[in-house]
């Protein structure tokens, strides 16, 4: 499988990518405010890269439950010095706004992580013109409303159908399918049970045929499972989720704790490869 971003296949290493999270916001659920200054954000971005992050996902608008939207101009103000300071690294910009995406892509970013899956009608054109990669995510409602009594008759079937439809819409809008990755949106408009079901369905969702990104790091459903109220106490649960997602076929894991995740993913990827090899030899 190929994920073409900025003229390169980012999956060429043959293993899952570890995407390090860098929030340059005052109000993100796990580390809001810690990296809100350019100097702190750049230092943290470098630290994540040193720990083994394959790429950094930089967001200037919180998408935590209840978060308010942030104007494009303010997102750009927050992003500008950080993009400049980290432009030698592989950068994804976490935004649903085409204007913010265009700004970041013009300053070295090669991926847009769009939690709204092309709600901005200009987004597809911006990404296609830059030859960038894009992540299309499922979310019920908006960050402000998404956790208001989420209900699905079948959450896995609903999310699968949505991702297939958005992939088709992206292609129709001019995006090369090889530039598109998909994300089930764990924790975005889902109960803890919904999030567990989607994580367990990683193999089914990966079978859609595009690289699957799983972002379970420090999410509230892990806190419910482990009685860890503080997101910073969810390291072990986050590592378990990343390893499981890798074993089941995720191509990208989006995480806060890079060093531990890199090691967990290496083990899970080796086990997955061995399982596939055993299955192939058994069939032959």
Q: Per-residue pLDDT tens for 223-280?
A: 999 999 999 999 999 999 999 999 999 999 999 999 999 999 999 999 999 987 666 6
Residue range 203-219: mean pLDDT, rounded = 97
Residue 135 DSSP SS3: strand
Beta bridge pairs of residue 254: 19
Q: What is the C-alpha separation between 273 and 283, in angstroms, rounded? A: 15
| pLDDT value, residue 179 | 98
**Cβ distance 183 to 138 under 8 Å?**
yes
Closest CA to 178 of 218, 225, 111, 133: 133
Domains and their CATH numbers in the chain: 4-283 (3.20.20.20)
Which of 210, 218, 219, 234 is the catalytic position?
219
For the whole model, what pTM was predicted? Answer: 0.92
Which of 140, 190, 254, 272 is the catalytic position?
254
Residues recorded for the chain: 284
Closest CA to 197 of 186, 188, 208: 186
| pLDDT value, residue 92 | 98
**Cβ distance 35 to 62 under 8 Å?**
no
Is 254 one of the catalytic residues? yes
């Amino acid at each position: 499988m190929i994920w073409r971003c900025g003229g390169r296949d980012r999956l060429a290493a043959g293993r899952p990518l570890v995407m390090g999270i860098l929030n340059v916001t005052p109000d993100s659920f796990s580390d809001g405010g810690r990296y809100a200054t350019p100097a702190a954000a750049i230092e943290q971005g470098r630290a994540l890269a040193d720990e083994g992050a394959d790429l950094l996902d930089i967001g200037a608008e919180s998408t935590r439950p209840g978060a308010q939207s942030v104007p494009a101009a303010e997102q750009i103000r927050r992003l500008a010095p950080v993009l400049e300071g980290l432009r030698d690294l592989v950068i994804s910009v976490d935004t649903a706004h085409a204007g913010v995406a265009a700004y970041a892509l013009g300053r070295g970013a090669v991926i847009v992580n769009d939690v709204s899956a092309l709600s901005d009608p200009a987004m597809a054109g911006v990404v296609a013109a830059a030859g960038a990669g894009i992540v299309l995510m499922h979310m019920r409602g908006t960050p402000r409303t998404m956790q208001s009594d989420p209900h699905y008759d079948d959450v896995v079937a609903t999310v699968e159908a949505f991702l297939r439809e958005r992939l088709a819409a992206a292609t129709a809008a001019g995006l090369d399918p090889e530039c598109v990755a998909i994300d089930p949106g764990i924790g975005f408009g889902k109960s803890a049970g919904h999030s567990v079901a989607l994580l367990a369905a990683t193999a089914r969702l990966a079978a859609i045929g595009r690289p699957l990104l799983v972002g379970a790091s420090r999410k509230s459903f892990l806190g419910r499972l482990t009685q860890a109220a503080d997101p910073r106490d969810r390291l072990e649960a986050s590592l378990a989720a990343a390893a499981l997602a890798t074993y089941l076929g995720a191509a990208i894991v989006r995480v806060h704790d890079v060093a531990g995740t890199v090691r967990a993913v290496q083990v899970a990827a080796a086990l997955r490869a061995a399982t596939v090899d055993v299955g192939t030899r058994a069939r032959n």
